[in-house]
Amino acid sequence: MSFLAPEPVRAGNETGVLFVDRASALPVRQSYEGEWNHFVGGGLAVLDCNDDGRPDVYAAGGSAPSRLFVNASAKGGEIAFAERPIQPLGAVTGAYPLDVDGDGHLDLVVLRDGPNMILRGEGACRFSSAPPEWTFDGGREWTTSFSATFEGDQDWPTLAFGNYVDKTDPQGPFEACDRNYLIRPQGRAFGPRIALEPGFCALSMLVSDWKRNGVPDLRISNDRQYYVRNGREQMWHLEPLAEYTEAEGWPELKLWGMGIASRDITGDGLPEVVLTSMGDQVLQFNEGGGVMRNAPWSVGTYSTVPYKGDDGRPSTGWHAEFGDVDNDGRDDLF
């Protein structure tokens, strides 16, 4: 795992940002490893698990160990992390911090090639398996994406899990995408899994009130590598639960969908979205009224080939994220 920290750099009259690899600040070498079933995944959960105001890291390992690194940096000093014991889990593809039970401690939703798990935060960077009374069913699929939201006046979250190839399908892996699942709360516990079908090998999910009407929807970005021809990008109504259709103005879009990032970058209060892929990275402007418009080529976000210009083969976009890297008040896109 590379750990990059920004440092200011001045060249002439220009101020830029230089990223320095700080992997040496980790007490052990962390890597995401594995065969075909770990060619995708490898996420980090960044959270403050001991309420000291500093970010800690839970790193997925694939077939290698997943680890919890607690920030031990002194204020104004060198970056330093200490490994903290946590329940050993294999086949971890990613993780997300979320306060499931509203006790003020962040929990970890851990995605796996196999049963997903929730590790309950107990404070002071201690975690344990979610108690049986939570009735959480983690399934047994190959999970590669996740999102969550609080629906209505619920004080427990609704969880969405996106799954990749159904490895039990003897005709796979092509055109053998698994179904996805939604899990809604029932009181202070979780109800049964609800299938979202069809599934098209989901690699990213995003719950967003993208129309700004107070109603969240679930966006799913799907990998054409394995659905091949009969799939598409998807948007789901959460209530009532149904996939958006072309008749509703949701045009069919096919991508080697990998990552999703969303931010209002035009200042009109409506969130834009970026969908990474192989070749074109698609930025869509939110026109309002449920209409998304592909950005013109001149915007410069498609990034079809490696930026150095020495290779004409298509770029593969994976993770995408907005943030103001150079503190100029404008969002940048990683």
Give 146-155 contacts, CB < 8 A, sequence gap 24+: 146/94, 146/96, 146/109, 146/111, 146/205, 147/205, 147/206, 147/207, 147/218, 148/96, 148/98, 148/109, 148/207, 149/207, 149/216, 149/238, 151/184, 151/216, 151/238, 151/239, 154/185, 155/102
d(CA 193, CA 188) in angstroms, rounded, equals: 16
Same-domain pairing of 219 and 286: yes
Same-domain pairing of 309 and 163: yes
d(CA 262, CA 283) in angstroms, rounded, equals: 9
Q: What was the pLDDT predicted at 306?
A: 85
pLDDT digits (tens, 9 = 90+) for 54-95: 999 999 999 999 999 999 999 988 999 999 999 999 999 999
Closest C-alpha to 235, from 263, 260, 269, 214: 260
Same-domain pairing of 188 and 332: yes
Q: What was the pLDDT predicted at 251?
A: 92
pLDDT digits (tens, 9 = 90+) for 238-258: 999 999 999 998 999 999 999
Q: Which two tokens stand for residue 321?
A: 């994220």
CB atoms within 10 A of CB 317: 23
Number of domains in the chain: 2
Same-domain pairing of 228 and 107: no
Q: What string of pLDDT tens digits covers the 334 residues of the chain?
A: 776 777 666 555 456 788 889 888 899 999 999 999 999 988 899 999 999 999 999 999 999 999 999 999 999 889 999 999 999 999 999 999 999 999 999 999 999 999 999 999 999 999 999 999 999 999 999 999 999 999 999 999 999 999 999 999 999 999 999 999 999 999 999 999 999 999 999 999 999 999 999 999 999 999 999 999 999 999 999 999 999 999 998 999 999 999 999 999 999 999 999 999 998 899 999 999 999 999 999 998 998 988 888 888 888 899 999 999 988 999 999 9
d(CA 333, CA 323) in angstroms, rounded, equals: 6
How many CA atoms are closer than 13 Å to the CA of 127, on its beta-carbon side? 31
Same-domain pairing of 202 and 114: no
CA angle 99, 143, 206 (to 5 degrees): 55
Question: Which residue segment(s) compose the domain that 248 sits in?
Answer: 132-334
Same-domain pairing of 154 and 283: yes
Q: What was the pLDDT predicted at 99?
A: 98
How many CA atoms are closer than 13 Å to the CA of 67, on its beta-carbon side? 17
CB atoms within 10 A of CB 86: 20
- Among candidate residues 81, 101, 130, the one where a domain is terminated: 130
Same-domain pairing of 88 and 140: no
Quickly tell me which residue has 């694939």 as its tokens: 62
Q: What was the pLDDT predicted at 11?
A: 53
pLDDT digits (tens, 9 = 90+) for 85-106: 999 999 999 999 999 999 999 9
Pair 221, 258: CB distance under 8 Å: yes
Same-domain pairing of 78 and 37: yes
Q: Residue 78 — left, alpha, or beta (φ > 0 → left; ψ -120 to 50 → alpha)?
A: beta
Quickly tell me which residue has 């404008």 as its tokens: 330
d(CA 232, CA 201) in angstroms, rounded, equals: 10
- Among candidate residues 90, 105, 130, the one where a domain is terminated: 130
d(CA 50, CA 84) in angstroms, rounded, equals: 12
For 133, list phi and psi in degrees, rounded to 5. Answer: -70, -10
d(CA 104, CA 236) in angstroms, rounded, equals: 30
Same-domain pairing of 213 and 332: yes
Q: What was the pLDDT predicted at 220?
A: 98
Q: What was the pLDDT predicted at 126?
A: 98
Same-domain pairing of 33 and 118: yes
Closest C-alpha to 225, from 195, 258, 181: 258
Alpha-carbon distances of 229 from 177, 223, 236, rounded to whole Å: 12, 10, 20
Same-domain pairing of 121 and 142: no
- Among candidate residues 130, 156, 175, the one where a domain is terminated: 130
Pair 190, 159: CB distance under 8 Å: yes
d(CA 212, CA 196) in angstroms, rounded, equals: 24
Same-domain pairing of 166 and 279: yes
For 103, list phi and psi in degrees, rounded to 5. Answer: -90, 5
CA angle 121, 127, 128 (to 5 degrees): 110
